[in-house]
Amino acid sequence: MQIVHNLRQTSRSFFADRIQLMAVLIVLCFVSVLLLESQSRSSYPTYLLAILMLAFTPRWVDVFRLPLMMWITALLAWLSLSTFWSEPFDLRAAASNWVRALLILTFVVAMAECQLRGQLQRWMSIGLTLTGVLAVGAAVANFYLTNPADGRLNGLGQLDTHVIAALVYGVVLIFVLRAATTSSHKLVVLFSFCAALLIAYAVYLSDSRNAWVSVVIGVGSYLLAKRTHDVRQFVAAMAALAAVLTVSLLILLLSDTTRELLLPRGTSFRLDIWSTTWENITVNGGVLFGLGIATEDDLVIEGLLFSHPHNLYLALVHQGGLIALALYLGVLWKSFAVFARKFETEDAKLGLSLLVMAVSAHLLDGHELLDKVGDTWFLVWMPVGLALGLCWTPGDKEETFV
């Protein structure tokens, strides 16, 4: 009976702890993306998280005094407002985007609140490492069992495209490295090392040049951040890494043989996609305000259909014009500024590497910043939430429901 009583007391204290419950929901948000096939089902924890946050708004409303939070709110509000000049206007699509903006807003604040305690980071490392190994292992096994015609590894479930899967696996890889570098247990370090090799192999099998470069940049920035003691050393080291990568790529591209090996699909119509998208924006008068987030951005080039601009920055201009792009760059700048100020902390090094990878990856891919839980939550909204937590120093926050 005493054991039962202790279990009841433990469960009551757990569910009475608002921050702890939010941390569980946040971990579930990301773990479900790796394990579940449906993006809608993965969104269930985000709905519960939003309801929980809205029910206790007075506990966190002071976050809106922070400049970073102002930029985040302005960006989400502007993209939501762009539904009104989307063509054609669809109330259901507009409502869907408004809900997504609310889910992102509450998630970012919840991420920041949980970051203050530090428990979330430990759970996230464990959750993403274990589920990531399962998801990546299953994807690699499926690759060899099905032998896809294009020879490229695709993720399973909702990560069913090679680029998105590889980028998400890259985020998991950084968390695995975090577990390896912060743990003192030899078995944890050994498991993390083996997991890192498996994930790196999966990224290689994706055959996505964008993912190769972006993941190398993200992982490299994390390892450099761990080895440097201040932000100036880190910037110098990153500049050296960028120079080495740039020179290496230029040398490889100058040779016909290595260029064909490096870019077997050429530019994959990227230049044509970007120029056509920009032409559509300018012709339809959307340079400043955009054409609306719900306006279709499909393109047909040489008889091939491309479903989006394959560049997040250009996609933002298409959706909300230069205003949306400026607001997003403001969010990035403020987040990087926070990471620079708090560089000595582990969370700053983690968030910085994730955001660096996102900035690189979105030059050649990405189109939905306002989306249900998925790759942009891994690459953008998670590190932005960490940055918000690092600059948010509220007073005696109440962390329980009672």
Q: What is the pLDDT of residues 155-176, one digit of tens each?
A: 888 888 889 999 999 999 999 9
Name, of 231-235, 241-245, 380-384, the range with top average pLDDT: 380-384
Q: Give dist(CA 362, CA 161) in Å, integer.
A: 15
Percent share of the chain, pLDDT over 70: 90
Cα angle for residues 378, 119, 359 (degrees, 5° grid): 25
d(CA 322, CA 290) in angstroms, rounded, equals: 7
Which pLDDT tens digit goes with each residue over 369-385?
999 999 999 999 999 99
In terms of phi and psi (left: phi > 0; alpha: psi -120 to 50; beta: otherwise), the region of 310 is left
pLDDT in tens, 262-274: 776 666 778 888 8
pLDDT number for residue 183: 77
Which of 391, 330, 332, 327 shows the shortest CA–CA distance to 356? Answer: 332
Residue 11 has pLDDT above 50, yes or no: no
Task: Write the pLDDT tens digit of every residue in 69-109.
Answer: 999 999 999 999 999 999 888 888 899 999 999 999 999 99
Parallel, antiparallel or unpaired: strands 304-306 and 299-301:
antiparallel
Residues 6+ apart with CB under 8 A from 125: 175, 176, 178, 179, 182
**Tokens representing 391?**
């600059």
Give the residue among 94, 137, 125, 111 at the shortest CA–CA distance from 49. 111
